[in-house]
Amino acid sequence: MTPAALGLTLASALLHAAWNALLKRAKDLDAASVLVFGTALLLMALLAWVWPSPAFPRMAALGWALAAGCGEGGYFIGLVGSLERASLGWSYAWMRGGALLVAWPAGLLLGEKADGWALLAVAGMLAGLGLLGLGGGERGSGRALPHVLGAAVSIAGFNACYKLALGADASPPALFATSMAVGLPIQALHRRWRRGAGVSAWKGSVAAGLGAGLVCAGAFLCYLVALQTSPSASVLTIRNTSIAFTFLVGWLLGERPRPRQVAGILLVCFSAILLGWPR
């Protein structure tokens, strides 16, 4: 991984944790999440018009973008379901750890290579995420587990689809906008099925939703540009440094990490450095 790609991946991790924290503060997570991803979709669609490369020069790129959208839809549903039932830090730890268990085998199937140092870094990342997930003991975590596991599989799925679309020369903003155009209706329909479509549900969520949407767009743009030149599994692994930022933000919101969780944060960060270190 090049230094530029590593920097973009870390920036994506920080921004990703920030928009998740903004979403967590909304009074209605379902309503706010629709606004978040709708804002991100609009911003990336506008950016796609001025991006220097064609949106989808090959049909394969468009196909993988649509497939990624299905994964994003599953992620949206799992993310909201988890945040409604468990803390921000616990949810993120289990989502990201589960995604790693799927992403690395998927990366090998895509022809990506993993040396001994990479495998050691992944093992350290999983251990750190395990300390984070098991060390919190938050109430309601068991009820959130099905949502977290669904989100984890979805993350690994859209990560692989994004890599395949970029390999077919899709432009990053057009790729994300198209993916959102598929994933957002899935989330909106799920919300309507659960709660109906009352306008009052949006009260108190608009400011947080718009701000989170802007940050979300920036996070995914950094992620996709880094993914253009880097192995998909490595990018996803290093993005897990967002868990450290997430616990920091959670601490600012009143959540207090335990000593085991602090050790997990340090292990996650060390593993990301090991994986991204030039070799």
pLDDT in tens, 226-238: 999 999 888 988 8
Q: Are 35 and 202 in contact (CB under 8 A)?
A: yes
Tens digit of pLDDT for each residue in 6-22?
A: 899 999 999 988 887 77
Average per-residue pLDDT in the chain? 83
Task: Give the C-alpha separation, 188 to 248, whole Å.
Answer: 30
pLDDT at residue 199, as a whole number: 42
pLDDT at residue 138, as a whole number: 53
Residues 253-259: what's their mean pLDDT? 76
Tens digit of pLDDT for each residue in 117-133?
A: 888 888 888 888 778 76
**Residue 261: closest CA among 119, 92, 139:** 92
Structure tokens at 33: 């999440």
Q: Quickly state the pLDDT bin for 89 (edges 50, 70, 90).
A: low
Q: Quickly state the pLDDT bin for 31 (edges 50, 70, 90).
A: confident
CA distances from 270 to 242, 263, 265 (A): 13, 11, 9
Q: What are the structural domain ranges in the chain?
A: 3-276
Q: Quickly state the pLDDT bin for 159 (edges 50, 70, 90).
A: very high
Q: Quickly state the pLDDT bin for 135 (edges 50, 70, 90).
A: low
- The pTM (predicted TM-score) of the whole model is 0.84
Please tell me whether residue 29 adopts helix, strand or coil conformation: helix
Q: How many of the other CB atoms lie within 10 Å of CB of 194?
A: 11
The radius of gyration of the chain's CA atoms, rounded to the nearest angstrom, is: 18
Structure tokens at 166: 């970029």
pLDDT at residue 134, as a whole number: 64
